[in-house]
Amino acid sequence: MSDVMKAVRLHAFGGPEMLIYEDAPKPQIKAGEVLVRVHAVGLNPPDWYLREGYKMLPPEWQPRVLFPIIPGTDISGVVAAVADDVRGFAGGDEVYAMVRFPIGLAGESRAYAEYVAVPATELALKPAGIDHVHAAAAPMSLLTAWQFLIDLGHDEPNPLQPHQHAPVPLAGKKVLINGAAGGVGHLLVQLAKWKGAHVIAVASGGNEAFLRDLGADEFIDYGKISPESVVRDLDLVVDAVGGPKTRRFLPALKRGGALFPIFPLGFDGASEAKKLGIAVSTTQVRSNGAQLAEIAPMLNDGTIRVAIDSIYSLSKAKEAHERAATGHIRGKIVLTVTQEEQS
Ligand X SMILES: NC(=O)c1ccc[n+]([C@@H]2O[C@H](COP(=O)([O-])OP(=O)(O)OC[C@H]3O[C@@H](n4cnc5c(N)ncnc54)[C@H](OP(=O)(O)O)[C@@H]3O)[C@@H](O)[C@H]2O)c1
Q: What residue ranges bind ligand X (CB under 6 A)? A: 44-45, 140-141, 144, 178-179, 181-185, 202-204, 207, 222, 240-242, 262-263, 284-285, 328-329
Output 81 or 152, the one with its CB closest to ligand X.
Answer: 152
Output 179 or 269, the one with its CB closest to ligand X.
Answer: 179
The closest alpha carbon to 185, from 289, 262, 294, 283, belongs to 262
Measured distance CA(152)–CA(288) in Å, rounded: 10
> CB of 117 within 8 A of CB of 97?
no
Measured distance CA(134)–CA(127) in Å, rounded: 10
- Taking the complex as a whole, the smallest distance from the CB of residue 238 to ligand X amounts, in Å, to 10
> CB of 229 within 8 A of CB of 202?
no
Output 89 or 101, the one with its CB closest to ligand X.
Answer: 101
Measured distance CA(165)–CA(290) in Å, rounded: 19
Output 62 or 284, the one with its CB closest to ligand X.
Answer: 284
Dihedral pair phi/psi, residue 121, rounded to 5°: -70, -15
> Can you say whether the dihedral through the CA atoms of 270, 274, 102, 21 is positive or negative?
negative
Helix (H, G, I), strand (E, B) or coil at 30: coil
> CB of 237 within 8 A of CB of 279?
no
- Taking the complex as a whole, the smallest distance from the CB of residue 264 to ligand X amounts, in Å, to 7
- Taking the complex as a whole, the smallest distance from the CB of residue 158 to ligand X amounts, in Å, to 10
- Taking the complex as a whole, the smallest distance from the CB of residue 324 to ligand X amounts, in Å, to 7
**Closest residue to bound ligand X by CB:** 182
CA 6 to chain centre: 24
Output 6 or 44, the one with its CB closest to ligand X.
Answer: 44
CA 337 to chain centre: 20
- Taking the complex as a whole, the smallest distance from the CB of residue 309 to ligand X amounts, in Å, to 8
- Taking the complex as a whole, the smallest distance from the CB of residue 76 to ligand X amounts, in Å, to 17
User: Going by DSSP bridges, is the β-strand pair 74-82/308-313 parallel, antiparallel, or unpaired?
Assistant: unpaired
The closest alpha carbon to 185, from 164, 206, 211, 153, belongs to 211
- Taking the complex as a whole, the smallest distance from the CB of residue 17 to ligand X amounts, in Å, to 20
